[in-house]
């Protein structure tokens, strides 16, 4: 081949040999397309396709990849425009040099304006390894792109090129989980725990999740237990040329996802049941309380406990009853820990739990050492503070009787 790679790429562009392929991303529960990634292909006149791995890395190396990226961006904009009200978000890969481009947002804006498309339909993918700028510059760059109305995805998360601190600091909204997590077909316990933890982190950080490289039903079934937002992989579709993609977006019925609902299936439901049974068999009483609204209900109670605490009511009233049954010398301990005010205060302080053991009398006048373990939770929507109390008799082991103030474990 004569000329430099860049010369050949420019020539290929002029001959319409450079094309955008699109790989749809599916909602794994509904089987409908929710987004897509644009991927460059070099289609030679004889029909052979040169994959990006054969020219993108070299262009990146030389700082010449942006010509391809802007070409693909423009193709994506055209496709979005053509799809009209059937349009879905299309994400484009942006290599190394863009994070240093001060006019990046301006160029994106110009392009979406030229095609009169909604900015929210154009996504920007970056990989940590691609970024050559200083971290602070990258953070500022992503902030500007997001602030301008585009969604930024962190690509290849977990590939070894993308670190936890990158995810922590870069204000992107989407995490694309690398296919290397799926290598063992989601069959090993270690692999599954690792993937679960990635999703746990992503959900806690309120990131949208996309898993790449899903090829098998086994992988899909496991990923579905992790509450993933989008699946991108050969199982649903390979990257396809423009016309095929257009048809998929406009005509295609949802694919049959055969959704594996963890709560309906025997195994996972069985696991949840086993966990609940274990909790319920360990504790003699379990109480659920909304501290903010001062209400509780008893979820489980052994009859041998012989209390007259109503099944449900106001926490403050229920507490008065518990206090009236408390051993004289332990009342102070009980009050410091379990009045509604003190519990709310402990929660505000950042305590995860409040645990005490005090002497409690049954209705028959018999005293027992009773452990109260209260765990706090915050409802993300209402902001109410919830508490689950695990209560059990601990007479059998004298050394657990502390009777003094103790916070947490
Ligand atoms: P990427 O951004 O991680 O893109 C996903 C790659 O995974 C694509 O390879 C896609 O075809 C492949 N893939 C998708 N589903 C599966 C699956 O189920 N199994 C397997 N084994 N692979 C799957 P592709 O298209 O060959 O692209 C390779 C890389 O080249 C991309 O990785 C991206 O880093 C780069 N690239 C592609 N197009 C562009 C572009 O326009 N600009 C830039 N800067 N880079 C691009
Ligand atoms: Ca990508
Ligand atoms: Ca990727």
pLDDT one-digit tens code per residue, 184-216 = 998 888 888 899 889 888 887 889 999 999 999
Distance 201 CA to ligand 1 centre (A): 24
Q: Angle, nearest 10°, between helix axes 242-250 and 66-83?
A: 30
- Residue nearest atom 7 in ligand 1 by C-alpha distance: 213
Which residues lie below 8 Å from residue 199, measured CB to CB, with a gap of 6+? Answer: 177, 209, 226, 227, 228
pLDDT at res. 260 = 53
Q: What was the pLDDT predicted at 162?
A: 72
Give nearest CA residue, ligand 1 atom 17.
213
Extents of the domains making up the chain: 5-253+261-266, 283-406
The C-alpha angle 332, 336, 342, rounded to 5 degrees, equals 150
The CATH classification of domain 283-406, taken from the options 3.10.450.350, 3.30.479.30, 3.30.450.20, 3.90.470.10: 3.30.450.20
> What is the predicted pLDDT for the residue at 303?
81
Of all residues in the chain, what percent carry a pLDDT higher than 70?
91
Ligand 1 binding residues, C-beta < 6 A: 23, 39-40, 51-53, 56, 65, 68-69, 72, 93, 95, 155-156, 179, 212-215, 232-234, 239
Burial of residue 7 (number of CB atoms within 10 Å: 0-12, 13-18, 19+): exposed
Residue-wise pLDDT for 225-270, tens only, equals 887 899 999 999 999 999 999 999 998 777 776 655 544 444 454 5
309 Cα to the center of ligand 3, angstroms: 57
Do residues 7 and 31 make contact, with C-beta atoms less than 8 angstroms apart?
Answer: no
Amino acid 405: pLDDT: 31
**Residue among 13, 23, 39 to mutate when testing ligand 1 (max atoms within 8 A of CB):** 39
- The pTM for the full model equals 0.70
Task: Compute the distance from residue 156 Cα to the ligand 3 centre, in Å.
Answer: 4
Under 8 Å CB-to-CB from 173, ≥6 apart: which residues? 146, 151, 152, 153, 207, 208
Q: Which CATH number fits domain 5-253+261-266: 2.60.40.420, 3.40.50.300, 3.20.20.450, 3.90.1640.30?
A: 3.20.20.450
Q: Whose CA is nearest to atom 34 of ligand 1?
A: 93
């Amino acid at each position: 081949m004569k000329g430099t790679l860049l010369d050949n790429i420019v020539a290929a562009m002029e001959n319409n040999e450079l094309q955008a392929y699109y790989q749809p991303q599916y909602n794994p529960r509904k089987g409908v397309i929710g987004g897509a990634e644009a991927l460059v292909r070099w289609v030679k006149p004889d029909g052979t396709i040169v994959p990006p791995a054969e020219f993108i890395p070299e262009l990146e190396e030389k700082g010449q990849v942006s010509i391809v990226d802007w070409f693909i961006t423009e193709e994506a904009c055209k496709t979005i425009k053509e799809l009209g009200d059937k349009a879905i978000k299309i994400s484009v890969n942006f290599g190394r040099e863009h994070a240093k481009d001060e006019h990046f947002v301006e160029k994106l804006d110009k392009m979406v304006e030229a095609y009169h498309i909604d900015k929210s339909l154009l996504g920007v993918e970056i990989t940590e390894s691609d970024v050559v700028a200083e971290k602070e510059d990258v953070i500022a760059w992503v902030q500007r792109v997001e602030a301008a109305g585009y969604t930024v995805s962190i690509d290849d998360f977990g590939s070894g090129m993308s670190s936890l601190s990158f995810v922590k600091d870069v204000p992107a909204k989407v995490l694309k989980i690398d296919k290397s997590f799926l290598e063992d077909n989601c069959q090993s316990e270690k692999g599954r725990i690792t993937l679960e933890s990635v999703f746990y982190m992503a959900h806690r950080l309120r990131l949208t999740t996309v898993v790449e490289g899903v090829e098998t039903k086994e992988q899909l079934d496991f990923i579905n237990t992790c509450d993933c937002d989008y699946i991108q992989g050969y199982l649903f579709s390979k990257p396809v040329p423009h016309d095929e993609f257009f048809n998929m977006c406009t005509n295609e019925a949802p694919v049959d996802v055969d959704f594996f609902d963890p709560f309906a299936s025997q195994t996972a439901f069985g696991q949840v049941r086993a966990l609940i049974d274990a909790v319920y068999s360990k504790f003699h009483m379990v109480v659920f309380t909304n501290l903010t609204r001062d209400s509780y209900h008893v979820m489980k109670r052994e009859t041998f406990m012989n209390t007259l605490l109503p099944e449900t009511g106001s926490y403050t009233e229920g507490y008065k009853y518990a206090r009236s049954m408390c051993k004289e010398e332990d009342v102070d301990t009980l009050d410091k820990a379990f009045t509604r005010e003190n519990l709310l205060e402990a929660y505000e302080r950042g305590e995860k739990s409040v645990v005490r053991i005090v002497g409690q009398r049954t209705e028959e006048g018999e005293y027992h050492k009773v452990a109260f373990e209260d765990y706090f939770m915050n409802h993300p929507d209402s902001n109410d503070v919830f508490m689950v109390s695990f209560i059990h008799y601990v007479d059998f082991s004298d050394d657990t009787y502390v009777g003094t103030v103790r916070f947490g474990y």
